[in-house]
Structure 1
């Protein structure tokens, strides 16, 4: 558990780690000198062997000095965006009876490793050390464990003591600020009127003439008696909007890693805008399939998405999206410029309910942005993340 002192699992013997490169050289020299003295009966070689062995033995007590430390890691910000700076603070308290003289601590951050020289730690004293990490790529990175590495003065042996467990750093994709996801959609769950009228909701809107097929339960009999004709109630539709983002996970749809990362950034930008407009949100991309959860959880999922050679075709992802979120009012499909089966994509979109607005966004770094309206859906070409707000406004 983070912040707890971790006792080595194999007892006192496990405290003695493998010798350092220098230690291995000294041990090898001792063995060679001893073998040479035994073979040639040279006293000087025996003396060299004894001195090397004595140096190794004298290094052992340095490693046996107890090190009891409680430590914790803190991240600022707790969620980062690719390329941004992250401040990591290692706080530690010396719970031992002896002072620790400037311990050297190894702190991995993803694939990177930082070495921290902590200040001298007196008993019960709390100290801290800050590390700045920049230009992290999108993903979920393990920060830690923080491990103190102690060596003897000659650097022959070393001992590693884990101070705290690792924590996860979520690095989200770069995102663009979108003004809106589109117009003409239902807006609020709490009874704020929308532009859509309904015959099956709770917010009364107006009366209109009866037409064959209307539910007689909606007839307003008192007004009908005064007007001399049947009048039925109409209601404002107060259902909550639901935006679903499908990110194509098939590797063949993208020409490069940069193109895929642009697609991920587009998807995350749509999720962020949907959260700001208080939509329910669903996200599908291969193994990542989540719906009706807080926006922070959906954005965390964009840190984990990856291209998957075993993922089903994009048309299958769209079908799964409709099953996962059948009340979707906005469906965004994000793919690359090399999406191979556009006919299957069009056929899948045709099967989407007619009241659902469908937008296909194709990541194509360097291409000219454009909006093409097909039968029943729109195709938006995005050449860079900075162009996304403009083309989304044009497609609204």
Structure 2
């Protein structure tokens, strides 16, 4: 006979107690960890006025000093103790250089605040001594874009000022941030640095170079009042036909002459009209462009088309992989094009990019897509399938140095732009 399997024994009270103790210890450990973390943050906040003064070099010197003292104690080498004392003395000697307080009013201004790439722009730094006593010489640092400008401010009597002028590099499209201006007090070795912020950062918009296009973008949007569609509606301006009255129809649509002649109420039907709505998109995937110069050409094409459409008072949405650009005024659009940067891996394909970025927009009457020479012509055709039959799709394929031309890929017109100077002529020949 086979023995019947035994039923599992219920856990003993000892096991329950062990588990409870384990959970209690884990909860206690988490509580202690949270208390320690809060205490460390509080300690860091309290000591930050002192610790922030020590530069990276100063921290390395302090660490080397502590290591030298520990090694001297363990190994009994008096030379290491002298080395540690020398390094520590260097830090102590640097302390007086950080003492003192300045009373400045500092302003940073850029003139002009908006330029086209390649134009000149200048900055002005004004320092005024607002203290009751003359100030001592000091050093001011002003970040300008990726660079750092340094200015020596001489001793200033009360209410006196000191002015510095500087040039801003504007060779490439960008948003250049100047500031904040900070004063730096410290020793010559750079062990200690006490920094005081005196101004807020200001921005300089370096706009892309654009081409001047003819009004209405030379036919890109041929009817600014509206485009007639095949959709039948009861309220619009384009008359279509008459039909018999049905309960609920508005009496204002009744055609009384026809109703009197036929003896039956007849109402008007209309063809729906839609006001022109553009969607202007640029594919900013880095691999889509052969070079940085070609990418800049793409941004210039985007800006040129967008500015002219806004001037024509046509509704437009301008989008890239990462940005939805403002279109209230041409200046707002150009400011935002200064922020356009190349992306990597945001979307797998042109179609995925267009579908994702336009899914929350109303159906456009014209969709214009700008991309680089790395995008095959078939990709523009695939993007066309995102929109309905009422949407005209245009592609602008920038290929720096290539012969400008216009091609037809199924129902999509693809314009190859080799130079920005060709854009106005090409747009004038486009017929969606």
1:134 corresponding residue in structure 2: 169
SS in 1 for 2:157: coil
SS in 1 for 2:107: strand
1:228, 1:137 → 2: CA distance?
Answer: 73
Check if 1:288 corresponds to 2:323: yes
1:313 corresponding residue in structure 2: 349
Q: Which ranges of structure 1 fall in alignment gaps of 5 or more residues?
A: 1-7, 32-37, 40-48, 189-193
1:73 corresponding residue in structure 2: 108
Check if 1:224 corresponds to 2:258: yes
Deviations 1:305-360 (A, max 9, x none): 323234331111222244132331221111111214x4343133144222222110
Summarize the Cα distance change of 1:332–1:174 in structure 2 as closer, same or farther, 3 Å threshold.
same
- Give the TM-score taking structure 2 as reference length: 0.67
> Cα RMSD over matched residues?
4.4
Q: Determine if contact 1:82/1:136 at 8 Å carries over to the other structure.
A: yes
SS in 2 for 1:10: helix
2:19 corresponding residue in structure 1: none
Check if 1:248 corresponds to 2:286: no
Alignment counterpart, residue 187 of structure 1, candidates 186, 202, 224: 224
Structure 1 residues 88-97 or 359-368, which shifts more? 88-97
Check if 1:11 corresponds to 2:49: yes
1:336 corresponding residue in structure 2: 372
Q: Determine if contact 1:250/1:313 at 8 Å carries over to the other structure.
A: no
Q: Determine if contact 1:246/1:317 at 8 Å carries over to the other structure.
A: no
2:346, 2:237 → 1: CA distance?
Answer: 50
1:395, 1:71 → 2: CA distance?
Answer: 53
How many residues are matched?
A: 360
Structure 1 residues 133-142 or 247-256, which shifts more? 133-142
1:86 corresponding residue in structure 2: 121
Check if 1:347 corresponds to 2:382: yes
Deviations 1:258-307 (A, max 9, x none): 11121111112122112211222322322224577665554343223323
Alignment counterpart, residue 260 of structure 1, candidates 291, 295, 299: 295
Larger radius of gyration: 2
2:320, 2:89 → 1: CA distance?
Answer: 61
1:168, 1:223 → 2: CA distance?
Answer: 66
2:140 corresponding residue in structure 1: 105
Alignment counterpart, residue 158 of structure 2, candidates 123, 126, 151: 123
Deviations 1:171-228 (A, max 9, x none): 332222222424354425xxxxx575896597756x6654899997585523435887
2:196 corresponding residue in structure 1: 161
Summarize the Cα distance change of 1:351–1:305 in structure 2 as closer, same or farther, 3 Å threshold.
same
Q: Which ranges of structure 2 fall in alignment gaps of 5 or more residues?
A: 1-45, 69-77, 80-84
- Give the TM-score taking structure 1 as reference length: 0.73
